[in-house]
């Protein structure tokens, strides 16, 4: 499978990652802005986390296809991957739609994929943390180590979306994989962190890429129902917020020969409908 992306002349490989897409507002912003970003930033490969793209909970095959048509080579997910039941058979059909790697053997879908791009082979891994998460999956640390050892036989260019709640677990994963993968970028909390850096052995890291969702919201959800929940502690249904959308992500510049990251930059754009 080939990623049809714009070529650049300096030999470096530019990977754009966008954080959790939230609902219809996030989907619209990504569909409209992604082709523009691809041209502006001379991007070679795009990964998008789509796990909140269906009304804020889960993803459908139709939405996954729309994100790929907009330019995503791979769509990653997280703890809401099973919220839309129609995604289950699709995971078996579409290897570019990932679920977290550290589910037990036999779970539908796959946690990684290797694709050809114009400059190099690229491996993308989806991983989920355990600290403060409702789902207690297999330990992500030995799971990713074994996976990376296999993937490095095919390519040194490996990108990891680590979907986790605790910043400590995310930072620890960055150090765990330093020098073994090109980038470890966190998702799930929907708030971009300011700790982007290239670790000493050449792995780009950021605790959380943020979200692609409405700005006037509580991490993507309507404000009033969330406030009611905090005030009363009663169960409340949260809808997706509306208004201007903030698109958040990270651009990683990689040496395709070694897989080492040379630079990581936060990416942020605002879209008004």
Just list the catalytic residues: 80
- Calpha distance 135→44 (Å, rounded): 34
| Other CB atoms within 10 A of residue 188 CB | 28
CB 44 within 8 A of CB 205: no
- Calpha distance 92→99 (Å, rounded): 11
- Calpha distance 238→179 (Å, rounded): 41
- Calpha distance 164→209 (Å, rounded): 12
- Calpha distance 138→72 (Å, rounded): 28
CB 68 within 8 A of CB 115: no
SS3 220: coil
| Other CB atoms within 10 A of residue 62 CB | 11
Find the largest Cα–Cα distance for the chain. 58
Structure token digits, residue 190: 């929907």
CB 193 within 8 A of CB 208: yes
CA 17 to chain CA centroid, Å, is: 6
Which of these, 40, 31, 43, 33, lies nearest to 5 by C-alpha position? 43
Q: State the first-to-last Cα distance of the chain, in angstroms, to the nearest integer.
A: 34
């Amino acid at each position: 499978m080939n990623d049809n992306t714009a070529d650049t002349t300096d030999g470096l490989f530019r990977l754009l990652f966008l954080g959790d897409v939230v609902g219809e507002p996030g989907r619209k912003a990504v569909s409209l802005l992604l082709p523009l970003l691809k041209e502006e930033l001379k991007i070679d490969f795009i990964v998008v986390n789509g796990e909140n793209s269906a009304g804020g909970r889960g993803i459908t095959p139709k939405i996954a296809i729309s994100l790929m048509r907009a330019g995503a080579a791979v769509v990653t997910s997280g703890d809401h991957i099973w919220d839309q039941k129609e995604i289950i058979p699709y995971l078996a059909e579409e290897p570019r739609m990932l679920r977290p790697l550290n589910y037990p053997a036999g779970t539908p879908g796959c946690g990684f994929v290797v694709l050809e791009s114009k400059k190099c082979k690229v491996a993308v891994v989806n991983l989920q943390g355990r600290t403060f998460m409702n789902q207690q999956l297999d330990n992500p640390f030995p799971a990713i180590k074994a996976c990376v050892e296999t993937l490095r036989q095919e390519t040194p260019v490996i990108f990891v979306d680590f979907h986790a709640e605790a910043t400590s677990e995310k930072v620890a994963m960055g150090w765990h994989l330093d020098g073994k993968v090109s980038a470890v970028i966190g998702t799930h909390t929907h708030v971009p962190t300011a700790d982007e850096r290239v670790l000493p052995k050449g792995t780009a890291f950021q605790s959380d890429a943020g979200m692609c969702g409405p700005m006037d919201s509580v991490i993507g959800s309507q404000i009033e129902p969330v406030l009611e929940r905090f005030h009363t502690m009663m169960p409340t249904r949260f809808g997706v917020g509306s208004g201007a959308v903030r698109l958040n992500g990270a651009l990683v510049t990689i040496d395709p020969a070694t897989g080492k990251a040379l630079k990581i930059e936060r990416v942020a754009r605002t879209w008004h409908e």
